[in-house]
Chain A
Amino acid sequence: MEVELDEKGLPVGMRDAGYKIRAVEDIGEIWRIDDEWWRVPIHRRYVEVIIESGRRVVLFEDVITGEWYVQKP
């Protein structure tokens, strides 16, 4: 998932499944999950965004690799 970030590291745009660029209209909640340290550690930063169509999307950044994903469901 390609996500464009602002200077604070928050998403301002994303490319959706149809490869269309969607602007982020609003940022909702932001939270972090650090889990499963006993096997393969998981460190994620979740950001809830409202994209231009008004749809709510939950994105997360894999803090280890720096890659972004859409949380489904």
Chain B
Amino acid sequence: MTRTPLLTSDSAACCWIPLFALRCETARRPELAALPVALVGSDDTRRVWQVSPLARHAGVKPGMTVSQAIGLCPALKLCEPDPVHYDAQFSRLLAALGQVSPVIEPAELGRAYVGTDGLEGLYGAPEKIVEAIQLRIVDCGLRIGNTGVESAIRNPQSAIRVGWGQGKFVTWVAATRARPGEAVIVQPGDEGTFLAAQPLAVLPLDPDTYRRLRQLGVRTLGALAALPEEAVVSQFGRAGRRLWRLAAGRIAEPVVGRVAPEPIVAALTFFSPVGERELLVHAIDKLIDRALGDPRRSGWRVQVVRVRAELEHAASWLAEATLKEPSADRERIAAPLKTQLERSPPAGAVERLVVEFTAFAAGTTELQLFARDAQAAARAGRRRALRTAAQEIKLRLKRSLLYHVIEVQPWSRLPERRYALIDYEP
């Protein structure tokens, strides 16, 4: 299988739009802006996921059950999540950032890193690079409530925050410290001083570690970095070393982007020229399926699709579609092509049909929510196959010899205590 090459960059900008999904929702339904709003979780509809400042003011917090939230705030407006819409908006953001730098790493909905190595030649100082990023975001038509440059940059009501520095952690912390519409730039060499004053909560800590560090009197990254590294490792194991190094500014993880795949082409030559439209539609469907199955497409959604037809007597026909919402779904990709085929069909019988995916948008994990049903079916199929295989092994060898790994003491600092093997009996 072809491995997609990676691009990396040590200097980075972190673009962060807090409450991205909620902002997408209030941007398309402006009447919500004046109300206390909460989005319900995609995977657990009994709990609230994102909460507007008004709702938070009334005591509603993410993770609460819906009944608790309504109990605290009877006027709360609950919204069903629309991850496809949020994903489409986030794709726009990524595409806009891709115009500034080829090195883009999406982190989560509303947060992405931009590699900025080498951009000084184009834009100048980090301040100018950051400004270019902010302007691109504003220009991309992202519907998150800011419609113009004036409303998106240097505006306390803006959604966009940017951090610039060396490595992803520093830039992420910088973005969280930035005021809405503004940027925080951490000059190279200043990472230690910048991080020292930051609260412990900026570290990727589990609640238990956070509590233990607080009990030890550690409140800031500076206080953590002042402890001997070995002492932190002794208390918290390997994770402790990483935390200490992040706090001390010793780790600068680069932004890792991916090179967008080359165009993916699937072609079909007919034995005899085809004029029937149904047959052409069927052939387009099959070719799209084949192109979607190309391993290079994995992790990417199709933005631009093109169909070329070579006709009798050396004539040709072309249809191209740019999808408003990039997709990896055959029906969505084929729909605009079929419309064009209907409106302006080829002028003659088709000898050869070619489908090309020529532009792509990065896939995000959020979109996988919709693959859940398919995944569940696949899992059930795998379980059945596994059960049959296990029974066969047991029949041949008289015992199972298959084991199930279970968590016993996942918190243990001794690796062999964390898991145990038990006989696998499907």
Contacts and interface: CB of A to CB of B under 8 A. Distances in A.
B414 A35 contact: yes
Contacts of B230: 31-32
B332 to A, nearest CB: 42
A32 B414 contact: no
Determine the main DSSP class of A at the interface with B: strand
Contact of A29 (B234, B238, B414, B415): B238
A31 B233 contact: yes
B381 interface: no
A66 B207 CA distance: 36
A31 B415 contact: no
Nearest to A36: B414
A73 interface: yes
Interface string B397-426: 000000000000000011110000000000
Interface string B224-244: 000000100110011001000
A29 B242 CA distance: 11
A33 B414 contact: yes
B415 A32 contact: no
B233 A71 contact: no
Interface string A30-43: 01111100000010
Contact of B238 (A31, A42, A44): A31
A31 B241 contact: yes
A8 interface: no
Interface residues of B, number: 10
B243 to A, nearest CB: 13
Contacts of B237: 31, 33
A32 B416 contact: no
A1 to B, nearest CB: 15
A55 interface: no
A42 B414 contact: yes
A1 B266 CA distance: 55
Nearest to A42: B414
A42 B415 CA distance: 13
A72 to B, nearest CB: 7
Nearest to A35: B413
Interface string A60-73: 00000000000111
B415 A71 contact: yes
Contacts of B413: 33, 35
A20 B425 CA distance: 37
Contacts of A42: 414
Interface in B236-282: 237-238, 241
Contacts of A33: 234, 237, 413-414
Contacts of A32: 230, 233-234
A68 B238 CA distance: 20
A31 B234 contact: yes
A32 B230 CA distance: 8
Residue of A32, A33, A34, A42 most packed against chain B (CB within 10 A): A33
Given A32-B230, A32-B233, A73 B238 contact: no
Interface string B314-326: 0000000000000
Contacts of A44: 414
A71 B414 CA distance: 10
Contacts of A72: 416
Contacts of A29: 238, 241
Nearest to B233: A31
24 contacts: A29-B238, A29-B241, A31-B230, A31-B233, A31-B234, A31-B237, A31-B238, A31-B241, A32-B230, A32-B233, A32-B234, A33-B234, A33-B237, A33-B413, A33-B414, A34-B234, A35-B413, A35-B414, A42-B414, A44-B414, A71-B415, A71-B416, A72-B416, A73-B415
Given A31-B233, A73-B415, 19 more contacts: A29-B238, A29-B241, A31-B230, A31-B234, A31-B237, A31-B238, A31-B241, A32-B233, A32-B234, A33-B237, A33-B413, A33-B414, A34-B234, A35-B413, A35-B414, A42-B414, A44-B414, A71-B416, A72-B416
Interface of B: 230, 233-234, 237-238, 241, 413-416
